[in-house]
Structures are given as C-alpha cells and as structure tokens.
Structure 1
Amino acid sequence: MFITVILLIAFGMNFYVLARLCGFFAIRKGLFFWAAVLLLSVSLIAATAYQSHYGNVLSRIFYTAAAGWYGVLWLLLSALLVYEILRLFIKIKPHIAGIGILTIVELLVIYAIINAQLIRIKSITIPGPSDFDIVQLSDIHVGSVSAGYLQRVIDETNALMPDMVMITGDLVDNHNKTTRKAIGMLSGLSAPVLFVNGNHEYYAGKAKVNESIEKAGVKILRNEWTQYCSFVVAGIEYSENQDDLEGFIESLKIDESEYCILMSHGPVNPETVEKYGIDLTLTGHTHGGQIFPFNFIVKWAHPHLTGLHEYNGSYIYGTSGTGTWGPRMRLGTRSEIVLVKLRKNAQ
C-alpha cells in the first residue's frame, strides 16, 4: 500500500510537469511521453532496490541519475506552481514561460549540486561541566553519498581534534558490499565514537548494519547510557512516536544531578528533555528540509527541529545533517559538521 501511494504521487508529479512542459513548446504527447512518465515514475524505487542489493558502478550511476531527476522534478514542480499563480495576474507567452522556468531551474540545480558538496563547520559553545569538544555527525547517508564523501567527513572531523564524535543516525542507506567497506572507514576517526540508530538503519537491516559499525570500533547506544569523564551520554532508539521517545528516556533512570547529553536521531520535544533533566540533546533526521521550500516548511511546522534552542537551561541542537538523501542537492540548507564546545565558564 505504501509503495502504491508513493508510485501514484510520483506518477502525478511526473505527468503534470512533463505535460506542462510539452504544452509550453507545443510538443505532442504521444507514446514517448507516456513511456517517459511511466519510467520516471518507477525509476527511483527501482534504482534504490538495485543499489541496495548490488552497490556496483552501474547501480550507483542508475541511482544517482534517478535521485537527481527527482531533485530536478521537485524544483520544476515548485517553479510551475509559482507560474500557475502568476499567470492569473500576468499574461505570459507559453514558450517564454517554458524557457524562463527551465533556465531558472537549471541555475538552481547547478547551485544546489555544488552547495551539497560543501561541508561547513558549525561551531556552538554552551555551558558544560568541563571543557570538552564534541563533533556531531548525522544523516551522512552512505549509499546516497559516496565513500569518498565519507572520507572527506572523516578527514575534516579529525582536523577539528575533538574529544569525542557522536553520530546521530542515518549513517547508511543500505548494507551492500560497498557500504560495508565504507562503514569500516569509521575506524579512521581519531576520537572515541558513539552512535545511535536512525530510521535508515532499520530500512537497511539494523542488526547487520550495527554489526559492521561495531567492527569499526564504534560504540552503539541502544536505550542506554555510558559515563564519560564528567558527564553521562545517553542514546535512544529511533521512533516517530514522541510517547515512545519519552518512554525510552524515562527507562534510562538517569541521575538528574549528572550532566547528561542525549543522542537521538529523531527530534525530541523540548518539554521532555526538560522534564528528565537532560542538559544537551543532539538530534538530526530532518536535514533542515534539504531542498527549498521544504526548509521553510520544516521550520514553520517544527521551529525547534533545527538549530540551537534553549529551554530553561536544557539545550537542543538539531542539525541539518552532514550528507544528503536522494538527490545530491541542497537548496536553502547546508551540509554541516557540528563542533559542540562545552565550556565550564560559558555564559
């Protein structure tokens, strides 16, 4: 049922966009048109399945092309919806509108592809029990991004010389031979590494993915906590249900007198972390929306999901993510490595 709904949505988007473009340039919608709509509608699901099982050069090319098309498709759809509104007030010749829309989308796609490859360092400083530097990585999505991209992330992380690295889920999209090899690269991180599962670890097969992650020397926190220096680090499993997340946190039985850092892939309600005395919560999952206008939709619907927020002494940082899922594009958001500086004398 889920795949059927996704395919129907994909068909509707592809049909509308391609039909509108054909209309702009007076192109007849014949057999080739319907073949293109059908093939493009199933391309991403087919490419994802192929890539998940094989992870070879051909599957990566197929997946990159299919995912890239859906990034382009989204921008074309957004531009066309704006056009539908403008044409109510302004008379625009169809071929001029078509050329304008294609030109604007082409420029946006080029920018979005370049922007997605630029990894920014986001530095935040908050009060802590001692001076301690943490790097948060999240939503790298090896499978959507390459092993080479992961190596860049590792190199830039090591250059920051953190005391600890925390990965808040969605490290991988699958568990094929290429991804397994990439996971092993985590052993190249120069600081202790903690990890919590995201939803994509479940999709890829959590047990097998976790086995590979632990072989790389990474400690996985599954609704448990560990003592480290002058503070506690807790990690909870992923759930869409906020009641589940609160139950996970409650089950940890953390002493509120301890400074506690909570790792969660999915966002946690501010009221929950405040209730259980969590001092710092690190989350991911949303990608900050990744591609315009999703970034504005995310911030409007859930204003506490991205960026740094304080709630009566409890801090939450929701990262926009280190990698990308699907199209290797970012428009209105950034790929980031987060450097969290705990400082004893911070204000």
Structure 2
Amino acid sequence: MERLFFLNFIFLLAILPVLYIRRSYFRRNIFLGRFLGNYIFITHYIFFLLILLGVVNYFYSLSNLKMIIITFIVLPIFFLYAYKNFLVARVVKNMIILKQNKNKKKIRIAFISDVHLSALTNKENLEKSLEKLSEEFPDIILIGGDLIDFSYKDIKSNFKESFRRITPKYGIYAVLGNHEYHGEIERNIEYIKSLGIVILRDEILEVEGLNIIGRDDITNKKRKKLAYLTKKINQDRPTIVLDHNPNSIIESIINNIDLELCGHTHRGQFFPYNLIVKKMYKNYHGYKKFGDTHTIVSAGFSSWLIPYRVNSTSEINIIDLYY
C-alpha cells in the first residue's frame, strides 16, 4: 500500500513538467492532448482513492484483493460521472429584477464562457450544447472570454456554421479572455469574428435601453479602468459589464454596475481546486448580489484540456432581466 501511494505521488508530481512540455508539443496533437487531460485527472483521483483506502485499512484491515476490487469498481463509475458532467452543458436559469425597473422591459440573455475551442473540441458535443442554448430563444448572446484555448491554428473542425446558425435578435457579442492572449491575439480575434461574433474591447454597446460594457481581459495591462468607461455611458440606463475575470467584481460594485457577467473560474472544475478557487474570488460561481450589483460567474461552457468535472458541470446561463 505504501509503495503504491509513493509511486502515485511521484506520478502526480510529474504533471508539472509534463504541463510545461505541453506548451510546445501537446497543444496541436489530439492524441497527446487527450492523454494529458486524462492523465492529470486520473492521477489525482487514484492518489485520493489510495489515501482513502489507507485510512479505511488503518481501522479495518483490507486484503490487497479487496482494495483492487474496490478500485476497479469505484474509479470507472466515478470517471463516467465526471465525464457526463463535462459532456453537454446544462441550462441554469436566473430571473433578475433591477432595482429601478422603471422601463418595465425584459430581455433574455444567454451567457456562456470558456468554450476553449482547440484540437480537442468535439464538434458534435459542442453543437448539442449550442442547440440547447438556441432552444431557450435568447434575445442576445454574451460570451465571457476564452472562446479559443490557445491559437486558431489548433482548431481542427469548422465551427463557422455551428455558431452562425444561431441568430438572436440583437446578435452575439464576446470579450477576450487570458487564453486568447496566449496565442496570436490579433489572428485569434479575426477567427472569432469569422464565427459571426462581435468582440467588445473596452467598448460600449447600447441595446434596448441597456448599456453593455465589454472589457478587455486583465492580461492587457493597458485596458481601460471601469470608472473611465462608465463616464461614456448614459447614466440613466441600466448597465451590464461583461468581463472574463471575476476579480473585477469589486470594481463593478464601486461603480454601481447593475449586473456583471464573468467566467474564468470553471468553478475549480474538480476537487481540491474548487476549494482553492472559492477562496480566490468574491464570487467564484453562480449568482450573488452585492448591494444593488448582481453578479453571475459561469462554470464554463466546456473546459480547458481536462474532459471531466466534479462538483461542477458545463453550463449555459439564461438570464431573464427585468429593467
């Protein structure tokens, strides 16, 4: 038991140099990319299972045969559960009534984030998730960054038709995330535009009596401060901020923003990272209200590299906003 634990711990530590190698060799190779994603997840949970079995064995002596049987029963079931959580995004609905609500208007927003298009993206699964989104008949679609995982060059499938067949009344808009900046940023922007998506980089959009401020990602050290952008809006209108990283929620509260939509966190994706991410952000997932500022942080439409989710699912946020 101790030897197995030690060997698995070594494999777990080996993730770090392997991740470094991935930057050069794994991004464009489907086989190697899938191998690494599975390797990271499986190694983690074999490690945790060995700890659990060690604790149980301390109180109730288990034979090697029993431990092997438990491992071969528990792990496949657990991996199928985690893969199902990742596979097709579930719909999460929120009704938000803004404090002023003076216009007596309603708009339905579909919000997604962290699609992470790459060589590993399964077109069929992505289109099933987009179909679920379309069936909610949103008036507008907002995308909270990391649409591309690294570089447009890595994307093997043609997703132009997949996105262009969705035609909400007011269009599809996106902000950039940190992953777009990891690759060739200007070429990544061109690719996103080719999907029929308008990118907002520290820009203001006016739709049906709403201000929508799309912020450039925090990766860009020259991005404009929110206080500067709010000077350019009609203050009598409700304001939505679309920003990839939820670190900016504090800025939105200070500037009396009505609604902020973010992604980036993936809700930690799986244990123990969900606990770490929870401590990092004012809101790390889901709906939270701070004073008059409503916030929603998406767990992500897909995921980076690892095709599994624990205590988290791929999701589509449908927001019925009354203002």
Give the TM interval when normalised to the shorter protein.
Answer: 0.7 to 0.9
C-alpha RMSD of the superposition: 3.1
1:142-191 deviation line (CA, Å, top 9, x unaligned): 11432333322322222211110000011111312635732563222212
Q: Does 1:186 align with 2:163?
A: yes
In the alignment, is the contact (CA less than 8 A) between 2:203 and 2:213 conserved in 1?
yes
Q: Does 1:223 align with 2:233?
A: no
Q: 1:49 to 1:43 in 2, by over 3 A?
A: same
Letter aligned with residue 163 of structure 1 = D
Distance 2:207 2:49 in 1: 50
Distance 2:6 2:124 in 1: 34
Distance 2:13 2:174 in 1: 40
Of 97, 105, 112 in structure 1, the residue corresponding to residue 75 of structure 2 is 105
Q: Does 1:76 align with 2:46?
A: yes
Distance 1:284 1:20 in 2: 32
When you count helix as a share of all residues, which structure comes out higher? 1
- Measured after TM superposition, the shift of residue 52 of structure 1 is 3.7
**Superposed, which structure 2 residues align to 1:169-318 within 5 Å?**
169-173=145-149, 174-176=151-153, 178-179=155-156, 181-182=158-159, 185-191=162-168, 192-239=171-218, 248-252=225-229, 253=231, 254-302=233-281, 304-318=283-297
Aligned twin of 2:7: 19
1:9-37 deviation line (CA, Å, top 9, x unaligned): xxxxxx9867159xxxxxxxxxxxx9x99
Letter aligned with residue 342 of structure 1 = L
Aligned twin of 2:125: 149
Q: 1:16 to 1:277 in 2, by over 3 A?
A: farther
1:279-329 deviation line (CA, Å, top 9, x unaligned): 000000011111133223323443512110111111000011110112211
Q: Does 1:167 align with 2:143?
A: yes
Distance 1:272 1:125 in 2: 23
- Measured after TM superposition, the shift of residue 83 of structure 1 is 4.2
Task: List alignment gaps of at least 5 residues for structure 1.
Answer: 1-14, 22-33, 54-58
Distance 1:165 1:237 in 2: 17
In the alignment, is the contact (CA less than 8 A) between 1:184 and 1:213 conserved in 2?
no
Letter aligned with residue 127 of structure 2 = Q
Stretch moving more, 276-285 or 232-241: 232-241
Letter aligned with residue 340 of structure 1 = I
Distance 2:19 2:309 in 1: 18
Q: 1:168 to 1:270 in 2, by over 3 A?
A: closer
Task: List alignment gaps of at least 5 residues for structure 2.
Answer: none
- Measured after TM superposition, the shift of residue 66 of structure 1 is 2.0
> What SS does the corresponding residue of 1:135 show, helix, strand or coil?
strand
Q: 1:197 to 1:297 in 2, by over 3 A?
A: same
Distance 1:180 1:96 in 2: 45
Distance 2:58 2:21 in 1: 38
In the alignment, is the contact (CA less than 8 A) between 1:172 and 1:179 conserved in 2?
no
1:184-215 deviation line (CA, Å, top 9, x unaligned): 63222212011001111111221111011112
Stretch moving more, 222-231 or 263-272: 263-272
Q: 1:79 to 1:187 in 2, by over 3 A?
A: same
Q: Percent identity?
A: 22
> What SS does the corresponding residue of 2:159 show, helix, strand or coil?
helix
Distance 2:53 2:13 in 1: 25
**TM-score normalised by structure 2 residue count:** 0.84
Distance 1:338 1:67 in 2: 26
Aligned twin of 1:7: none
Q: 1:313 to 1:301 in 2, by over 3 A?
A: same
Distance 1:268 1:341 in 2: 24
Q: 1:113 to 1:48 in 2, by over 3 A?
A: farther
> What SS does the corresponding residue of 1:176 show, helix, strand or coil?
helix
Q: 1:137 to 1:179 in 2, by over 3 A?
A: farther
Distance 2:81 2:122 in 1: 19
In the alignment, is the contact (CA less than 8 A) between 2:12 and 2:40 conserved in 1?
no
Distance 1:179 1:230 in 2: 40
Which of structure 1's runs of 4+ aligned residues deviate more than 4 A? 15-18, 36-48, 83-95
Letter aligned with residue 107 of structure 2 = F
Distance 1:105 1:51 in 2: 26
